[in-house]
Structure 1
Amino acid sequence: MTKAMNQKDIFNAYQKFTEEYIAMIKDFYQKGINSGEFIPHNARQSAIALMSALDGVLVYMALDKKLLFEEVVESLNYRLVEVLLNDNKK
């Protein structure tokens, strides 16, 4: 990332990717809110939290071989998806 910050073309590409990634995840949350599947909340904040969690956990999984993929998926699913489900739709 430090090298990307120093190279304008790489930095711009990463910046564009990040903006598109957040927008895609935000749309996922917003569709859930609009359909009543998710409780009303700030979709952009949830998107940023999920993106950050996914981005960060990849490093931890590379460093800690005891960190299981299934455990990570279950944890992120609960904390960033299931808690937002509308009780009337569960």
Structure 2
Amino acid sequence: MAERKSKEERINDITNAAMDVFLEKGYENTTMEAIAQKAGVSKGGLYHHFQSKDMILLVVNQKISEKVGGLLSKASECSSIKEGILFYIENYLKYWLDHPKDTSFLFLSIAKILDNQELLKYYQQFTVDYMKYFEEAFAMGVELGEFIPHNVKASAITLVAAMDGILSYMLLDEQLNLEEVVKHFEEKFIKPIERKK
């Protein structure tokens, strides 16, 4: 007799299968039936967990965001604000480069954001929280004397925009080395605001 899977295991099976089907067929050509078949569940079983493919798209994005969000917690454990920011930059870029399936899925999702209000709301809130994290990190760096007083909001916005921007170029240009990119980021975003000892 086959062992019954927990709800969490079943949802993981469905979201992993959905990611494959979305990437293979594109969002528009993906059906709930195709997802159910790939996940090895009945169509009724699929609808028991998810009402629509929009809902599945949102949950898969949430799962990916949780992985990336975990890097923020690890960055907070670093010995200094500067080290935490550099840790995050390196590991954020490394995550997307090492997980091409997740990266492709993110780009597929971005194309759907304006058509999907739930996904749009999710990413709007994620962006607010993300920017706030870096704004608070730069502010803490100023407070602790690691950084000189400066516009911490501008630092947060430009850093996040630059990370997402360079990622696209790193995917397209194999000459862009992660270690060098992190050094360039340090040169542009950290050294100008570091308090001289």
| Fold in common (TM above 0.5) | yes
CA separation in 2, counterparts of 1:76 and 1:44? 17
Q: TM-score, normalised by structure 2?
A: 0.43
- The corresponding residue for 2:183 is 74
- The corresponding residue for 1:7 is 116
- The corresponding residue for 1:29 is 138
Question: How many residue pairs are counted as aligned between the two chains?
Answer: 88
Does residue 41 of the first structure (1) align with residue 142 of the second (2)? Answer: no
Q: Deviations over 1:51-77 (max 9, x none)?
A: 001111111100111111011100001
- What is the aligned-residue identity percentage? 36
Instruction: Give the drift of 1:38.
Output: 0.5
CA separation in 2, counterparts of 1:11 and 1:42? 28
- RCO greater where, 1 or 2, for CA within 8 Å and sep 6 or more? 1
Q: Deviations over 1:24-52 (max 9, x none)?
A: 01111000111111111111110001000
Amino acid at match of 1:58: L
Instruction: Give the drift of 1:2.
Output: 3.3
- The corresponding residue for 1:20 is 129
Q: TM-score, normalised by structure 1?
A: 0.92
Amino acid at match of 1:13: Y
Instruction: Give the alignment of 1:52-63 within 5 angstroms.
Output: 52-63=161-172
Give 1 or 2 for the bigger CA radius of gyration.
2
CA separation in 1, counterparts of 2:139 and 2:165? 23
CA separation in 1, counterparts of 2:114 and 2:125? 13
Amino acid at match of 1:25: F
**Displaced runs of 4 or more, over 3 A:** none
Structure 2, unaligned runs of 5 or more: 1-109
